[in-house]
Structure 1
Amino acid sequence: MNNFKLKIGALLASTAMMVAVSCSDDFLEIPPVGELASAQLSSLAGLDASLIAAYSQVNGRGNRLGSPSNWVWGSIRGGEANKGTDPGDFTTINPIQRFENQAADGEMGSKYNVCYEGIARANSVLRLLGTAGPDVTENDKVRLSSQARFLRAHFYFELARVYNRTPYVDETVDYGSGLEEVKNDKDLWPFIIADLEYAVANLPATQPQVGRVNQWAAKAYLAKVYMYTKEYSKAKPLFDDVIANGVTSNGLKYDLVPYYDDMFRGANDNHQESVWAYQAAAGTGSVLNANPEFDLNFPYNTGPAGPGNCCGFFQPSFTFVNAFRTNAQGLPLLDKSYNNPANEVKSDMGVPSGDPFTPDAGNLDPRLDHTVGRRGIPYLDWQDHPGQAWIRNQPNGGPYSPKKYVYARSEQGSFQDNSSWTPGYTGINFMIIRFADVLLMAAEAEIEVGSLEKAREYVNRVRTRAINSKL
């Protein structure tokens, strides 16, 4: 009996020792599933992944009104295009087009939210650099911070030109407390300029990955910002430098693509005219990696004879099309007489596709038919645009279809994604700044400082490419 008690006592003692050992604090410290530790994020790989997350926000991540093309905030509000489709489709765009939108309207926060998500991601990179791991060199810190600050400047630039003043939040602001107290009482432009100046001073001329921004993109962007702040004398030397010496991130000397439409073909992405673009890829398993902002902006009801098959949005306006009218010398009608009845571009408004129609035979800028789909004119490599048959509601949106950033028949399945509800997701990069933009902004800066002949040289360089880009 005593022997049995001794055995029981020994067992209890050993069990107690095991419990004592196993019940340390470490037992309670279970790493959260699906969450990276700060040490992982502060490593070189973690920091670069965080930076890529900031880059990925540039395309709007599926929020059509948050994208950098500003096809609603810029082109539709500016009169270049109508919403298109039917009046009852995506009705929240209607008051934006009519300049009747209110702060509480559903889409008013779309771009705001997209940009602040991008800013938060850029700030996260900058904050993590403060606790960078031992594998992160000083050169790495500069390389990463200069890209993050460029991206932050981009998102604030988008906010400034759509909303004017919004709260300025940088990496020093504590997101956990008091964020809602940050006011929108500061001018954003000095902060944007400071970030871009840092990017100019620290970014390399080329990058190992073409999608990353380089010093020349930063100079072009900074010059563009100076145009907005009307500091033309500061913009001009930057434009001079970019035009004379600038190269793409993959080392191509900046220049115009010789044939206009070639710059919008996926196989030519990251060409010499692409100063900065977000990278789009089809067939990755997620359409958010493609070009997700234009999925609605295709001809309607095309079937297999045309691209997209949906949804008839973003229809070029009559005023926009008429502005391509030129005189006998090929010069635009700068007095806006293009809207006079005698100069209006002939359209098939109200003409069924089965009825005869002859397109306008007057003088037109060749860029019109690379930009706008109109009846009787080849629509990329698909077929001649049939007119009303590809328009969802002519009385509502007019007779025209969008054409830029539309995939060609030859690009189906390669630069176009078939994995979603619509085939309208493309793998065609969207160029946020083109070299043609640089030339035309530089021309404006030259005019402002009194160099009219230099301005004419830049404009004619762009016009010469247009002349040589006939269908």
Structure 2
Amino acid sequence: MKDIVTKGTLLALALTFSTLACKDSFLVVQPTGTLTSSQLGTKNGLEGLLISAYTQLNGRGFSQTSSSTNWMYGSIMGGEANKGSNAGDFNAITPFQRYEMVASSGELNARWQNMYEGISRANSVLRQLKTPDATVAAADLARIGAEAKFLRAHYYFELKRTFNMVPYIDESVDYAAGITTIPNNTDIWPKIEADFKAAYDVLPEVQTAAGRANKWAAASYLAKTYLYEKKYAEAKTLFDLVIASGKTSLGNKYSLYPQYWMVFSADNEKNDEIIFSTQNVANAGSSDAASNDLNLNWPYNTGPAGPVGCCGFFQPSFELANSFRTDAKGLPLLDGSYNVGANQLKTDQGLASSAAFTPDAGNVDPRLDHSIGRRGIPYLDWQVFPGQDWIRDQAFGGPYAPKKYIYTKAQEARIADVSNWTKGWTGINVVLIRYADVLLMAAECEIEVGSLEKARDYVNQVRKRAANPTGFVMNGTAPAANYVIGTYDTPWTDKAIARTAVQFERKLELSGEGHRFFDLVRWGTAATVLNAYLTYEGAKLTNGLGGAKFTAGKNEYMPIPQREIDLQSTAVLKQNPGY
């Protein structure tokens, strides 16, 4: 930034002041609320710029659907959840769950703007690093630059898998030189790779400040980028390093936390499973400035975030809940029969809370009741989930409520903004990548270029953690349901069967965490899986899924926002196929 000199000074004033001073330096006025380049070049200035780039992970200032948590783009569009609430509230989401997105969507434009705002902030850090204060240590300059490149790569990663072909802007773009349009005619995967690689090469293995990207976060994201490009060998090499990271006599740096539900607890946000997460806080002077973007996704009415609960969105689907059915050995029904006959979970759909109801007595994976709130099962420490009384419109959204990232009753005063009209604004961090995710991505790579047995081992590690009875939901002194979960004890010898098992395990382990749609697209199964989901789910609800269709070759990516095309012209920004 430059000092600004006031203009339009009257000649009479100039003549008057000329008798009082020999210099004109007193005319230099620094605008209120601005910082000079020299101030930003200090250690504190650079760290401040960097923190501003981190804050955009929450997507504040745009839309609740626009951030990196991907609860709409990854989970609703992946068939894990319905929009929920009722027909009239936030119906801008409806086209996304029907795969009828249009380029004029405000939600799409918010997504685009949010990610490019994060990129702009990361670029600001990198530009400022070219003229640092002489007192800033070389090691700090290198680390700050690496973190900025990590964040820039993250935001571009989100843009790439949302829109595919997008303009690439780095710190070298000089708007002052008249560059105002940049086309989207180049694949940006190599740029994303380069930034994550640069971050991996420089970042320390351990950061002193919470929430900062470290070497292993960069390695995980770089490996994930390779996975999207189907560069399985390169991805496997990095996943191997992350899995073995920090190996000492005390164990590895990262591990599966013993109790599944505690991974998402506000009192356990620095556990060894978390590789990278958003950093959130409530009661910081504004209802939403530093909280996470999940404030809409709480049970309605008198539950958590009550007494005026908001807002009943993001209701888990029947299809997802049924997926947690297990057989006599505790294995999932990989043939899809979980949606057939008696294998479907018993629900209280259409039943008043005052009516008697007995929960499903069949075998289920214990992760079901850590992921989904359902009638007759304790909802954390609040109470037994009452069904319709906590559902805004059951016929529209179904009988379920989300359960991950919900604070406990004991945490409420510390975690939620209790002064607001809803207590849904919370300081709970949202995990963007965790060790279980890494294990299952590594299992995919092992299937393609490694060992089927190693893939089976990784999946079984995840399932063994879920089977830990100390982590079961309890109703008094007994498990709240018939939790039966086992491991794959027969060697895997068929790649197709192994792929199915790994892909289904990702569905169960990572449900509601924003991964599903993107997984289906990169596996090439989106059209088959999502059209079957639409047929099944649409027959059960009044939420307009009936007649919806996922179109292969089109709906894998969102349309480029029309507003952005209008700003640059169709000659510069090319629309995606089918829109």
In the alignment, what sits opposite 2:68? Answer: 68
Q: Which residue of 1 aligns with 2:51?
A: 52
Structure 1: how far apart are the matches of 2:238 and 2:268?
A: 27
1:414-470 deviations in whole A, cap 9, x for unaligned?
Answer: 122224332012221111001110111111111111411100100000001111132
Deviations along 1:209-264, whole A, 9 cap, x unmatched?
121111011111111111111100001111111111258xxx98201110111111
Q: Which structure 2 residues correspond to residues 201-220 of structure 1 after superposition, within 5 A? A: 201-220=201-220
SS in 1 for 2:276: strand
Partner of 1:108: 108
Q: How far apart are residue 206 of structure 1 and its match?
A: 0.8
The corresponding residue for 2:31 is 32
Q: Distance in 2 between matches of 1:43 and 1:220?
A: 31
Cross-structure match for 2:299: 299
Q: TM-score, normalised by structure 2?
A: 0.76
Q: Could you list the per-position Cα deviations for residues 322-343 of structure 1 after superposition, in whole angstroms to 9, with x for gaps in the alignment?
A: 1111111110111111111221
User: Do the aligned residues in 2 keep the contact of 1:298 with 1:312 (CA within 8 Å)?
Assistant: yes
> Which runs of structure 2 are paired with 1:21-420 in the superposition (5 Å)?
21-22=20-21, 24-62=23-61, 63-176=63-176, 178-246=178-246, 253-288=253-288, 290-302=290-302, 309-420=309-420
Tell me the residue number matched to 1:470.
Answer: 472
Q: Distance in 2 between matches of 1:307 and 1:132?
A: 51
Give deviations 1:140-171, integer Å, cap 9, x for gaps.
Answer: 21111000000000000010111111110000
Provide the C-alpha distance between the structure 2 equivalents of 1:307 and 1:168, rounded to a whole number of angstroms: 46
Give how far 1:289 is off: 5.1
SS of residue paired to 1:291: coil
Question: Residues 66 and 114 of structure 1 are in contact (CA less than 8 Å); yes or no, is this contact kept in structure 2?
Answer: yes
Tell me, in whole angstroms, the C-alpha distance in 1 between the residues paired with 2:266 and 2:120.
Answer: 30
Structure (1 or 2) with the larger CA radius of gyration = 1
Question: Matches of 2:304 and 2:68 in 1, distance apart?
Answer: 30
| TM-aligned CA deviation for residue 133 of structure 1 | 1.4
Task: Write the letter of the residue equivalent to 1:415.
Answer: I
- The Cα of 1:179 is off from its aligned counterpart by 4.6
**How far apart are the structure 1 equivalents of 2:46 and 2:305?**
46
1:434 maps to which residue?
Answer: 434
Q: Distance in 1 between matches of 2:284 and 2:331?
A: 45
User: For residues 17 and 289 of structure 1, do their structure 2 counterparts lie closer, same or farther at Cα, with a shift above 3 Å needed?
Assistant: closer
Structure 1 residues 322 and 110: CA distance shift in structure 2, 3 A: same
CA distance in 2, matches of 1:346, 1:54: 46
- Partners of 2:403 and 2:86 lie apart in 1 by 19
* CA distance in 2: counterparts of 1:226 and 1:378, whole angstroms: 41
CA distance in 2 between counterparts of 1:135 and 1:291 reads 34
The question of whether the paired residues in 1 share the 8 Å contact of 2:299 and 2:310 is answered with yes
The 8 Å contact of residues 299 and 307 in structure 1, kept in 2 or not, is answered as: no
Structure 2 CA distance for aligned equivalents of residues 285 and 419 of structure 1: 10
Aligned pairs, number: 454
Tell me, in whole angstroms, the C-alpha distance in 2 between the residues paired with 1:433 and 1:322: 25
Distance 1:241 1:138 in 2: 27
What is the CA-CA distance between 1:77 and the residue it aligns to?
A: 0.8
* Whole-Å separation in 2 of the counterparts to 1:17 and 1:175: 40
Amino acid at match of 2:209: Q
- Cα separation, 2, equivalents of 1:434 and 1:227: 16
Separation in structure 2 between the aligned mates of residue 109 and residue 160 of structure 1, nearest angstrom: 15
In 2, distance between residues paired with 1:360 and 1:306? 28
Cα gap change, 1:420/1:292 in structure 2, threshold over 3 Å: closer, same or farther?
farther
1:307–1:408 CA contact under 8 A, matched in 2: no
Comparing both chains, which one has the higher relative contact order based on Cα–Cα distances under 8 Å and sequence gaps of 6 or more? 2
Kindly indicate whether the alpha-carbon contact (under 8 Å) linking 2:305 and 2:423 is maintained by their aligned counterparts in 1. no
Aligned partner of 1:3 in structure 2 is: none
Question: Structure 1 residues 440, 303: closer, same or farther in 2, change over 3 A?
Answer: closer
Is 1:298–1:313's contact at 8 Å kept on the other side of the alignment?
A: yes
Counterparts of 1:167 and 1:410 in 2: how far apart (Å)? Answer: 47
Q: For each residue in 1:294-318, what CA deviation from the matched residue of structure 2 results, as whole angstroms up to 9, or x when unmatched?
A: 0000000015796871100000001
Aligned equivalents of 1:306, 1:359: Cα separation in 2: 25
* Offset, 1:286: 2.7
Mapped to 2, the partners of 1:418 and 1:147 lie a distance apart of 34
> For 1:245 and 1:382, how far apart are their aligned partners in 2?
38
Tell whether the 8 Å contact from 1:58 to 1:278 is kept in structure 2 after alignment. yes
Structure 2, unaligned stretches of length 5 or more?
1-14, 474-579
Q: Whose helix fraction is larger, Structure 1's or Structure 2's? A: 1
Partner of 1:453: 453
Q: Distance in 1 between matches of 2:185 and 2:255?
A: 41
Question: Partner amino acid for 1:448?
Answer: E
- Identity rate, percent: 55
Q: Compared with structure 1, are the counterparts of its residues 179 and 328 closer, same or farther at alpha carbon in structure 2 (3 Å cutoff)?
A: farther
Q: Distance in 2 between matches of 1:296 and 1:169?
A: 33
Structure 1's 432 and 70: CA in aligned 2 closer, same or farther, altered over 3 A? same
**One-letter code aligned to 2:117:** E
What CA distance in whole angstroms lies between the structure 1 residues aligned with 2:178 and 2:316? 45
Q: Which amino acid aligns with 1:364?
A: V
Q: Which amino acid aligns with 2:81?
A: A
**Gaps (5+ residues) in structure 1?**
1-15
SS in 2 for 1:417: coil
Equivalent-residue separation in structure 1 for 2:383 and 2:202 (angstroms): 49
Contact residue 67 and residue 293 of structure 1 kept, 8 A: yes
Q: Secondary structure at the match of 1:21?
A: coil
Question: SS state of the match for residue 413, structure 2?
Answer: coil
| SS of aligned partner of 2:19 | helix
The alpha-carbon deviation at position 405 of structure 1 amounts to 0.3
1:6 counterpart residue number: none
Helix, strand or coil at the partner of 2:83: strand
* 1:22 counterpart SS class: coil
Counterparts of 2:376 and 2:85, CA distance in 1: 21
Q: Deviations over 1:377-411 (max 9, x none)?
A: 00000000000110001111111000000111011
Q: Secondary structure at the match of 2:414?
A: coil
